[in-house]
Chains A and B, each alone.
Chain A
Amino acid sequence: GAVVSQHPSRVICKSGTSVKIECRSLDFQATTMFWYRQFPKQSLMLMATSNEGSKATYEQGVEKDKFLINHASLTLSTLTVTSAHPEDSSFYICSAARKSGGKQFFGPGTRLTVL
């Protein structure tokens, strides 16, 4: 149990376009979902925390208008990278928790490459 999926696994887009990444909890309901970004050979950095039905809470330095997060249901959260640029190329990973403060289960990640 506690499986989290992400779609797509890889995406390549042109600079200036927007990209949507989905995160789904497949066999449990996730009250809270988290989005992380990981650059090559670096650690995971938390971008934002989203709770179902409410606005996401962004970490310092993360532009909320550039990284749009929607957590419309207990099994789905989406991250939209708007007007993507090459510096946004990264590995984006989501995690989901049944409740706030609960154990986080991680998705397989999405590799974004912006040309």
Chain B
Amino acid sequence: GESVGLHLPTLSVQEGDNSIINCAYSNSASDYFIWYKQESGKGPQFIIDIRSNMDKRQGQRVTVLLNKTVKHLSLQIAATQPGDSAVYFCAENDNDYKLSFGAGTTVTVRA
């Protein structure tokens, strides 16, 4: 079946810099996308979502960009902080309302 994937498995970023995490998806029928943050030993934490009728959405320090033409999703974190160190997953919601998760990107913030 179709799946969601990530471009990079790890990302090291200097504290205060901006982070960009990328995600590629292949199911053109998906109409809802979510970014989650997962800290070690914990469940996923919702960060931000976006529907397919939008190409950009902003939250507090985070921005999600959706490019449906190339089936690409990205999460931008402004002024990355040590507390942002975690694994980040993109997920797509298909027509059956089930979530398909990408492989995950481990973000490490350097002090």
Contact = CB atoms under 8 A, between A and B. Distances in A.
Interface string A95-115: 101001111111111010000
Specify the main secondary structure of chain A where it touches its partner. strand
A93 B39 CA distance: 13
Given A34-B98, A100-B97, A104-B99, A44 B41 contact: no
A6 B49 CA distance: 24
Contacts of B99: 34, 44, 46, 95, 104
Interface string B30-70: 00000010000111111001000000000000000000000
A54 interface: no
Contact of A101 (B36, B97, B101): B97
Contacts of B49: 103
B43 A107 contact: yes
B44 A44 contact: yes
A106 B89 contact: no
Contacts of A111: 41
A55 to B, nearest CB: 16
A108 B97 contact: no
A109 B45 CA distance: 12
Interface of A: 4, 6, 32, 34, 42-46, 49, 91, 93, 95, 97, 100-109, 111
The 4 closest A-B pairs by CB, nearest first: A101-B97, A106-B43, A43-B101, A109-B43
